Amino acid sequence: MSADPAELVAALVSEIAKLTAANAAPKEKKKPQPPVCESVFEWVADYLANVYWRPTAPSMQQRDNHWCSAWFEHPEAQGRLNLLWKFWEAAQGNDEAMLRWWKEADHHMSKLMSSTGPFSLCTKKHADPERLKVDATPAKFLQGDDPPDDDDPPDED
Ligand SMILES: [Zn+2]
């Protein structure tokens, strides 16, 4: 090679300047993609029901999995599946985000489908969801906006 070291350095500096300028150029903003599914109802029927199938009670040996075809009648299922749908939409085209989605889906679907989950009473057909029993709030808790705090000094009345 007979190239002058000074010319090589100048060529490299010029190349680096071009690359730096290219990287500094404002990137085109990505247009938000329209959702794949129009609603959580469409997503559950067209996507989730196809990719997240499990053998479910009562027609199976494994009695831990429960599902309700009227899932939308269960407030807990509405909440969890709506968030899973939104997460799934946002993760489209991003392998790392989809991997995180699968982990979240495994967690929430296990809660929904468990033998103690919201679908556990819907064995042959939908059964209206139960609710936790809650006693009437005692008057002593209704006097202020906040529950009593142990750090609060006693009233000096
Ligand atoms: Zn049900």
Neighbours of 98 (CB within 10 A): 15
Read off the pLDDT of residues 59-96 as tens digits, 9 standing for 90 and up.
545 567 899 999 999 999 999 999 999 999 999 999 99
Tell me the CA–centroid distance for residue 61 and ligand 1, in Å: 20
Tell me the CA–centroid distance for residue 56 and ligand 1, in Å: 13
CB–CB of 73/129 below 8 Å? Answer: yes
Amino acid at 128: D
Amino acid at 76: E
- Of 124, 104, 122, the C-alpha closest to 113 is 122
Least confident of 16-25, 40-49, 50-59: 16-25
CB–CB of 44/109 below 8 Å? Answer: no
Tell me the CA–centroid distance for residue 121 and ligand 1, in Å: 7
Q: What is the pLDDT of residue 26?
A: 57
Asked whether the predicted pLDDT for residue 127 surpasses 80, the reply is yes
- Of 68, 84, 49, the C-alpha closest to 118 is 68
Tell me the CA–centroid distance for residue 111 and ligand 1, in Å: 14
Tell me the CA–centroid distance for residue 9 and ligand 1, in Å: 73
% of residues, the chain, pLDDT over 70? 75
User: Does residue 129 or residue 1 have the better pLDDT?
Assistant: 129
Q: What is the pLDDT of residue 1?
A: 46
Residues in the chain: 157
Tell me the CA–centroid distance for residue 73 and ligand 1, in Å: 6
Q: What is the pLDDT of residue 14?
A: 75
Say which DSSP state 28 is in.
P
Tell me the CA–centroid distance for residue 139 and ligand 1, in Å: 36
Radius of gyration of the chain (CA): 29
Q: What is the pLDDT of residue 85?
A: 98
